[in-house]
Amino acid sequence: MYERFYKLTGIPFQLTPDRRFFFSSSGHARAIAHLVYGLSQQEGFIVITGEVGAGKTTLVEHLWSQLDRNTYVTSRIVTTQVSGDDLLRLVLANFGLETSGMDKAALLRRFESLALEQQGWGRRLVLVVDEVQNLTLPALEELRMLSNITVDGRASVQTILLGQPQFRQTLARPDTEQLRQRVLASYHLGPLSVTETRSYIEHRLRTVGWHDDPHWADTAFDAVYSVTNGIPRRINTLCSRVLLLGALEESHLIDADMVESTAAELREDLGGGMGAAAPAAPAAPAPAPGTANAAEYLLRRIQAVEAGVTRQDRLFRRVIDLLSTYIEPQR
Please report the pLDDT score of residue 279 as a whole number. Answer: 47
Please report the pLDDT score of residue 288 as a whole number. Answer: 60
Please report the pLDDT score of residue 149 as a whole number. Answer: 87
Domains located in the chain, CATH noted: 2-17+193-276+303-330 (no CATH), 26-189 (3.40.50.300)
- Rounded Cα distance between 20 and 70, Å, is 22
Please report the pLDDT score of residue 298 as a whole number. Answer: 63
- Rounded Cα distance between 92 and 106, Å, is 11
Nearest to 220 by CA among 180, 268, 169, 260: 260
Please report the pLDDT score of residue 280 as a whole number. Answer: 44
- Rounded Cα distance between 311 and 289, Å, is 30
What residues pair up with 215 in beta bridges, in sequence order? 253
Please report the pLDDT score of residue 306 as a whole number. Answer: 58
Please report the pLDDT score of residue 300 as a whole number. Answer: 67
Name every residue whose Cβ is closer than 8 Å to that of residue 182 and which is 6 or more positions away in sequence.
Answer: 44, 45, 144, 147
- Rounded Cα distance between 79 and 81, Å, is 6
Rounded to two decimals, what is the model's pTM?
A: 0.79
- pLDDT by 10s per residue, the chain, length 331: 788 899 999 999 998 888 889 999 999 999 999 999 999 998 899 999 999 999 998 888 888 888 887 889 888 888 767 777 788 888 889 888 888 888 889 988 999 899 999 988 989 999 999 999 999 898 999 899 888 888 888 888 999 999 999 999 999 999 999 999 999 999 999 999 999 999 999 999 999 999 999 999 999 999 999 999 999 999 999 999 999 999 988 999 999 999 999 999 888 876 655 655 444 445 556 666 666 566 666 666 666 555 555 555 555 555 555 555 555 554 4
* b/e per residue 281-313 (b: at least 16 CB within 10 A): eeeeeeeeeeeeeeeeeeeeeeeeeeeeeeeee
Please report the pLDDT score of residue 28 as a whole number. Answer: 93
Q: Strands of the chain (E only): list them.
A: 45-50, 72-77, 124-129, 150-151, 154-155, 157-163, 183-189, 215-216, 253-254
- Rounded Cα distance between 41 and 194, Å, is 35
- Rounded Cα distance between 122 and 299, Å, is 80
The DSSP element (H or E) to which 58 belongs, if any, is helix 56-66
Residue 45: helix, strand or coil by DSSP?
Answer: strand
Nearest to 160 by CA among 191, 110, 124: 124
- Please calculate the CA angle 113-117-120 and round it to the nearest 5 degrees: 140
- Please calculate the CA angle 201-205-208 and round it to the nearest 5 degrees: 155
What phi and psi values does residue 323 have, to the nearest 5 degrees? Answer: -65, -40
Please report the pLDDT score of residue 281 as a whole number. Answer: 45
Please report the pLDDT score of residue 309 as a whole number. Answer: 52
The DSSP element (H or E) to which 225 belongs, if any, is helix 218-228
